């Protein structure tokens, strides 16, 4: 049997293998006769007819999707792989096989669906031309070179959204190494699917495919949160057949923890568009339990999910990954139309589809009359009300570590309960089912489904305390005094005379008490942290002060200062680092000022921001223990000023780590204004912004948007009054700020 070799249409052969000595001698003689012709390759002309009639090169019923293609459902010998695309940049004719033909051989092409069983004669006896799986693969035939041009052929995915942990995996090989190994690049585009839009992410100058099927995988996490195209570019030169099979884009975990349905096509079923994020109860995407994406209603424009039993018995599943530890927020927005309609969803601790058994954790019904009820796993009921015809926020916070759950409707707490009654104490799936209570007709809309880890923001806004009473005895151990004597002479009073977040703040007035209040930072020795508070110095001869200590005898070994700051009565102030180097600033007397100190213990670096403006950056540890000991709010002031001021919203928050060179660190210069805000919050940054998220104090994401450039405006009119945390992702990393909605 002969191994097939490549040829152009002028039929200049190469014979590779023989099985008898006699045949070898004959072939040897022939090779001498045609030696000169074998050394010269000329461009061939495709035949006007083929042994097998050509099929339509457009694939009208292939089943590839945006995230994968295995070529099994594609029509053999076609050039179209919808929704994937191919581009033939070189526009050169291609080589074929000696003594074997197939539709479109020798034609200009990029990739073709290759079935070795239907060539003429069949190539099923050649093990080197068999698919990695199934019966078909994608083939890029060698271009007849037009020096220096060889193959430049692109196989391009549809636009897909990827998240953290996303990847592109495929199998590839060279048919033979007789003419050199096949060469390829892997590239990504964030703009379009024209070859000029792509950036190569594989090793330079190209990757060579061996003659055995080899799996390749490329990490796409750098593009988390973006819509991208992925491509394989064949750049072989005068080789033979580049073979690809079983291409899969793993979308990873959405970088935005929410699905707002806005990237999908309205009027089409959800699951096949979701890249595996959604399935049905029977794990049959596109089947009778799927649901339609719609643009008829939306909380975040333009789309939402429509559930209507009159159309489909939707039973949609969002996998929560059998999560067993941590605290998590499962939230969504639901709209029940006016009429006889009702809605329903549940959260399951476990589900047979992904786990071992169906174990319910929580379910909730929204009735047509504006009432509703929730049931825990023991079917204990709690009633609530909502507004029919308007979007309602439903948030379930589940703390698996402490076996506790809470339901919030429109940010008002409805119930708290033991999460695990007799189940596995985990989070299985969200189940959105076309059901309703009583005689209501199941019809409702869902938007902004989110599954995100609860971000505890350790803040004290003093609002749960009683005004007019001392702070420490009310704080449950969060606060003490310098002498560790809660309720003693160094305590301070909670007041409702002034506040940034209503109704209370902390009053410091030396004429009343020599307050010296301590907030323990737990002797923290690693990580990147923000210590923030709001301070108001009244008009008059008053001043204010606080410090952050690296260590304190009360909780540690010795008193070691890290930073202190004074606010003078004339609207000036200064900070001192641990070496007592001073930096001056100005602020507005009589207004609330946000003071934020960010300390990166891993990189020994600190920064002070006032109202979002960088005041100074410095080495945190001069000769101390390089840790965070306590916040010390002391009734002190500079010079002849009288110590009197108010403190609100004291927060100690862990931030995302960033890799920096502390000496060469460039300030981010992020500024939020106005703060407090009533309508529109402006964000300005010296670094290009990538995304912005806003969380309320229960950890619920209330806003997410991609960003670009150095400025952004957020409409806060729909937010309830109170404190919010904004996380800003820039090209330099993450920054966290706070703002107050009036």
3.30.70.270, 2.40.50.140, 3.30.70.260, 2.60.120.200: CATH of 263-453: 2.60.120.200
Is pLDDT above 60 for 25?
no
Check if the beta carbon of residue 233 is closer than 8 Å to that of residue 147: no
Check if the beta carbon of residue 406 is closer than 8 Å to that of residue 415: yes
What pLDDT is attached to residue 256? 59
Stronger pLDDT, 699 or 519, i.e. the higher one? 519
Lowest-pLDDT choice from 46-55, 123-132, 512-521, 711-720: 46-55
Closest CA to 132 of 168, 169, 171: 171
Lowest-pLDDT choice from 54-63, 318-327, 396-405: 54-63
Average the pLDDT over 220-249 and give the result: 93
Average the pLDDT over 225-247 and give the result: 94
Query: Beta-strand (E) ranges in 400-499?
Result: 404-409, 412-417, 427-433, 441-453, 458-460, 479-481, 493-495
Distance spanning both ends of the chain, measured CA to CA: 84
What pLDDT is attached to residue 679? 80
3.40.640.10, 2.60.120.200, 3.40.250.10, 2.60.40.1170: CATH of 49-255: 2.60.120.200
Average the pLDDT over 720-737 and give the result: 76
Q: Cα-atom radius of gyration of the chain, to the nearest Å?
A: 34
Enumerate residues 6+ apart whose C-beta is below 8 A from 22.
Answer: none
Each residue of 386-437: pLDDT tens digit? 999 999 999 999 989 888 898 989 877 788 888 988 778 899 999 999 999 9
Check if the beta carbon of residue 532 is closer than 8 Å to that of residue 457: no
Percent of the chain whose pLDDT exceeds 70: 87
SS3 243: strand
Check if the beta carbon of residue 329 is closer than 8 Å to that of residue 395: yes
Decide if 458-667 and 669-742 have a common fold: no
CA dihedral over 700, 705, 711, 712, signed as positive or negative? negative
Highest average pLDDT, of 161-175, 362-376, 400-414, 715-729, comes from: 362-376
Closest CA to 173 of 187, 186, 184, 159: 184
Q: How far apart are CA 524 and CA 527, in angstroms?
A: 8
Highest average pLDDT, of 349-358, 551-560, 601-610, 724-733, comes from: 601-610
Is pLDDT above 70 for 657?
no
Q: How far apart are CA 595 and CA 591, in angstroms?
A: 13
What pLDDT is attached to residue 719? 84
Check if the beta carbon of residue 146 is closer than 8 Å to that of residue 92: yes
Check if the beta carbon of residue 152 is closer than 8 Å to that of residue 89: yes
Instruction: Tell me which DSSP letter residue 198 carries.
Output: -
Check if the beta carbon of residue 419 is closer than 8 Å to that of residue 426: no
Which residue shows structure tokens 């934020």? 596
Each residue of 451-472: pLDDT tens digit? 987 765 568 899 889 999 999 9
Q: How far apart are CA 165 and CA 644, in angstroms?
A: 52
Q: How far apart are CA 285 and CA 278, in angstroms?
A: 8
Domain boundaries, the chain: 49-255, 263-453, 458-667, 669-742
Lowest-pLDDT choice from 60-69, 408-417, 473-482, 558-567: 60-69
Q: How far apart are CA 352 and CA 594, in angstroms?
A: 50
Highest average pLDDT, of 48-62, 96-110, 713-727, comes from: 96-110
SS3 15: coil
What pLDDT is attached to residue 2? 32
Q: Which CATH superfamily is 669-742 part of?
A: Macroglobulin (MG2) domain (2.60.40.1930)
- Mean pLDDT across the chain: 85
Domain 458-667: which CATH class?
mainly beta
């Amino acid at each position: 049997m002969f191994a097939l070799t490549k040829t152009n249409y002028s039929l200049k052969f190469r014979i590779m293998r023989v099985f008898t000595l006699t045949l070898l001698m004959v072939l040897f003689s022939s090779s001498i006769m045609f030696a000169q012709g074998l050394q010269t390759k000329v461009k061939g002309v495709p035949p006007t007819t083929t042994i097998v009639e050509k099929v339509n090169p457009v694939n009208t019923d292939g089943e590839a999707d945006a995230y994968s293609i295995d070529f099994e459902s594609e029509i053999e010998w076609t050039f179209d792989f919808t929704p994937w695309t191919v581009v033939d940049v070189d526009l050169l004719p291609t080589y074929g096989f000696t003594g074997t033909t197939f539709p479109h051989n020798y034609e200009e092409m990029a990739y073709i669906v290759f079935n070795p069983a239907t060539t003429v004669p069949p190539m099923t006896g050649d093990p080197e031309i068999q698919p990695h799986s199934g019966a078909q693969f994608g083939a890029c035939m060698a271009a007849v070179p037009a020096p220096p041009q060889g193959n430049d052929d692109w196989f391009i995915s549809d636009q897909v959204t990827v998240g953290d942990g996303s990847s592109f995996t495929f199998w590839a090989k060279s048919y033979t190494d007789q003419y050199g190994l096949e060469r390829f690049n892997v590239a990504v585009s964030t703009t379009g699917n024209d070859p000029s839009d792509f950036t190569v992410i594989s090793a330079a100058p190209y990757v060579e495919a061996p003659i055995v099927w080899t799996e390749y995988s490329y990490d796409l996490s750098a593009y988390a949160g973006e819509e991208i195209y992925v491509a394989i570019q064949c750049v072989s030169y005068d080789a033979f057949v580049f073979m690809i099979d079983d291409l899969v884009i793993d979308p990873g975990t959405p970088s935005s923890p929410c699905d707002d349905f806005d990237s999908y096509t309205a009027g089409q079923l959800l699951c096949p568009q979701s890249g595996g994020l959604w399935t049905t109860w029977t794990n049959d995407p596109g089947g009778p339990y799927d649901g339609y994406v719609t643009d008829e209603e939306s909380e975040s424009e333009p789309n939402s999910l429509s559930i209507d039993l009159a159309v489909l018995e939707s039973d949609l599943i969002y996998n929560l990954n059998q999560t067993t530890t941590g605290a998590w927020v499962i939230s969504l927005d639901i709209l029940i139309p006016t009429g006889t309609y009702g809605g329903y969803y549940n959260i399951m601790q476990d589900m047979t589809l992904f786990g071992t058994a169906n174990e319910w954790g929580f379910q909730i019904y929204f009735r047509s009359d504006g009432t509703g009820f929730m049931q825990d796993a023991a079917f204990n009921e709690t009633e609530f009300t909502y507004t029919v015809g308007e979007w309602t926020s439903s948030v379930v916070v589940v703390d698996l570590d402490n076996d506790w759950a809470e339901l919030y409707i429109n940010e008002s707490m409805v119930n708290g309960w033991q999460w695990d009654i007799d189940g596995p104490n985990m989070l299985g799936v969200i189940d959105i089912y076309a059901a309703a209570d009583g005689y209501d007709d199941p019809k409702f809309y869902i938007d902004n489904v989110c599954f995100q880890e609860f971000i505890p923001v350790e803040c004290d806004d003093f609002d749960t305390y009683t005004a007019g009473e001392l702070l420490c005895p009310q704080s449950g151990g969060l606060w003490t005094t310098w002498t560790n004597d809660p309720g003693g002479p160094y305590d301070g009073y909670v007041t409702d005379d002034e506040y940034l977040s209503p109704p209370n703040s902390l009053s410091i007035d030396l004429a009343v008490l020599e307050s010296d209040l301590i907030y323990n930072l737990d002797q923290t020795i690693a990580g990147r942290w923000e210590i923030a508070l709001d301070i108001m110095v009244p008009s008059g001869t008053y001043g204010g002060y606080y410090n952050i200590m690296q260590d304190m005898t009360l909780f540690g070994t010795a008193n070691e200062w890290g930073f202190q700051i004074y606010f003078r009565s004339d609207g000036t102030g200064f900070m001192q680092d641990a070496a007592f180097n001073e930096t001056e600033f100005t602020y507005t007397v009589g207004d609330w000022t946000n003071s934020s100190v960010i300390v990166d213990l891993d990189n020994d670096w600190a920064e002070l921001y006032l109202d979002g403006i960088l005041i100074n950056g410095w080495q945190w540890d001069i000769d101390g223990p390089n840790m965070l000991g306590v916040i010390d709010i002391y009734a002190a002031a500079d010079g002849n000023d009288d110590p009197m001021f108010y403190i609100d919203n004291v927060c100690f928050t862990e931030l995302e780590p960033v890799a920096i060179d502390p000496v060469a660190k460039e300030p981010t210069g992020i500024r939020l204004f106005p703060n407090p805000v009533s309508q529109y919050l402006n964000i300005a940054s010296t670094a290009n912004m990538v995304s912005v998220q806003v969380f309320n104090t229960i950890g619920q994401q209330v806003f997410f948007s991609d960003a670009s450039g150095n400025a952004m405006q957020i409409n806060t009119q729909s937010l309830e009054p109170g404190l919010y945390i904004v996380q800003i992702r820039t090209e330099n990393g993450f920054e966290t700020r706070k703002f107050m909605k009036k």
